[in-house]
Each structure stands twice: as structure tokens, then as C-alpha cells.
Amino acid sequence: MELVRANASDADVLFASRVSTQGEKTLEGALDETVDAARSKGLINYLMRDRHGSPFEHNSMTFYVQAPIFVFREFMRHRMASYNEESGRYRELNPVFYVPGPQRNLIQEGKPGAYNFLPGTDEQMELVQSETRRTSTEAFEAYQRMLDAGVAREVARIVLPLNIYSSMYVTMNARALMNFLSLRTKREGTHFPSFPQREIEMCAEKMEDKFAELMPITHEVFNLNGRVAP
């Protein structure tokens, strides 16, 4: 994951919110990127706390994401972003597949919506890795055989598993990103606990790092208010 383009700062939140009380006077400072942190944190905290969300929409961040297709399925449940993904209809896909590493927990306990995951045994991890590699290799060989026989890419791709990597651009504003982070990260002190799949959480963590760099006050206040998107 990398941030490829951004027009986002805490100043964007401030000038957008102040138009409600200052009207045209805010035009004088609309392009001012400087922020007095001590004075501005209170206003941004008020907006976050009382869920005045629209001032957090006047910005934009575009991320380039490479991840397995099963992760993209979860991304695209968030309909407050714009997506453009590479197409298996128009290009031959690369043989890059996700194989869980030894740090990936394997044992699932609990009920839907409140799972806990625990480490597996060495034997379970060896099984997961070997079977994932075997089936991925077999599937890609079948894909190649069909392409070599002249079968269209959009047909040949149907044998490929969900752990094959794809790539996409994701563009969203800070309000949408905070909503995404509230659901796709697990943090202590969160007002509404979330139980994300680890693979999408890994993407979300990197996106949050960039968000914190671009909009440090907004990110701080997001955490202070229990990571509830306004």
C-alpha cells in the first residue's frame, strides 16, 4: 500500500466548518495551510464529538493497494470510496499468491461478530502453507494452459483462487477513511469494538499511518473520541 496523491490537512476541516458562521469571510483563509494546533484542536474535537461530519469531507486521499482478491471483497463493501482495479479481462494476471506467514493466527473461537483468533500448531501452519501453495500452483497452471490454447482471459481466469493478488486505486476523504478504520482495525478503547480479518487490518494500519501524517489533529481527536467516525 502507498499513498500516491493527497489533498488533505487539518486546515481543510477548519475552513469548511467555519463557513457556517463566517460565510464569505472564510474565503480569505481557504488556502492557508497553517494550523494553530492549540486553538484548532478544540474545534475539531467539537466537530468529531458531536458528529458534525461534513467538514471532514473536504479533502482527498488516493491509495494504491496490492492485496489478495478476498481482501478487495471486504474493501468494496465500503461504498464511500472510489475504486479502480486491474482487470483480468484485459491483462494476463501475474502468479502472485498470498500464503499466510507463521505469525497468522489459525484457530477461531467465539460467535459471529466476536471471534477470537489463536495461534495454530506447527502442523496446522505447515498444512495451511503447503496446501495453499499446491492449489495456487495447480490453478495457475490450468489458467496458463487455457490461455495457451487461445481461451479468452475473461474465461481462463475463472479457475484462479481468491488468494491471487490484484491491485487498485482507492480514493476517499477523511470522513470515509475514519469509518473504514473504525470497522477494519481492532483497538483498545474503541467505543464500538470491531473484529476485522487480519489481512484487511494490515492494509488499514498502513492507511492510518498516512492519515496520521497528513491530518495529525484530526487523527488524534478520532482516537480521543473512541474511534467513532463523525
* Catalytic machinery residues: 184
Cα distances (Å, whole numbers) of residue 30 to 26, 87, 132, 153, 218: 6, 39, 53, 49, 18
SS3 84: strand
In order, the DSSP letters of 190-228 are -SS-----HHHHHHHHHHHHHHHHH-HHHHHHHHHTTT-
Contact 182, 228 (CB under 8 A): yes
3-state class of 60 per DSSP?
strand
Residue with cell 501524517: 213
Report the alpha-carbon angle 95-96-99, nearest 5: 130
Name the 3-class secondary structure at 85: strand
Output the CA torsion sign for 166, 174, 6, 2: negative
